[in-house]
Amino acid sequence: MSTLRNRVQLIGHLGAAPEMKTLENGTKVARLRMATNESYRTASGEWKAETTWHSINAWEKLAERAEQQFHKGSYVMLEGKLVNRSYTDNTGAKKYITEIRAVSMMLLDKKQQEQAEPAAALAEPEDDGLPF
């Protein structure tokens, strides 16, 4: 394998409406929180359900479409890449975050899908600075 790729695919529900932010240069960014669910059987035969929450950032036109089409509870499929970053909080402690930078997203809700065309895949932005 000559090339390794950083690629994430998720299908889940949004826990809130997209949180929008416009940077000083006019670039729009949407922050989304998505829940994915997984069920499995334990060694004792009991079924367990596990929910994992993911932080997602969508940029520019993809952010605008997310703002227009997505809401709390939307059933969404997305593709993106993992991004690691760190910051220093108010107490001086260094914090580390892993997020997903969306490259494409599609609304899977049947009702809303008829009203809005799916968000198309967009190239990722050149700006690497994450505002959230």
Distance of CA 23 to the CA centre of its chain: 19
Q: How confident is the model at residue 52 (pLDDT cuts 50, 70, 90)?
A: very high
Alpha carbon distance 7, 79 (integer Å)? 7
Burial 79-94 (b: 16+ CB within 10 A, else e): ebeebeeeeeeeeeee
Secondary structure (3-state) at 73: coil
- How confident is the model over 22-34, as a mean pLDDT? 96
Write down the pLDDT at residue 111.
66
Alpha carbon distance 82, 87 (integer Å)? 17
What are the boundaries of each domain within the chain? 8-112
Predicted structure pTM score: 0.74
> 8-112 in CATH: which number?
2.40.50.140
Confidence check: pLDDT of 48 > 50: yes
What is the tens place of the pLDDT at every residue in 66-117? 999 999 999 999 999 999 999 999 999 999 999 999 999 999 987 655 555 5
Confidence check: pLDDT of 119 > 50: no
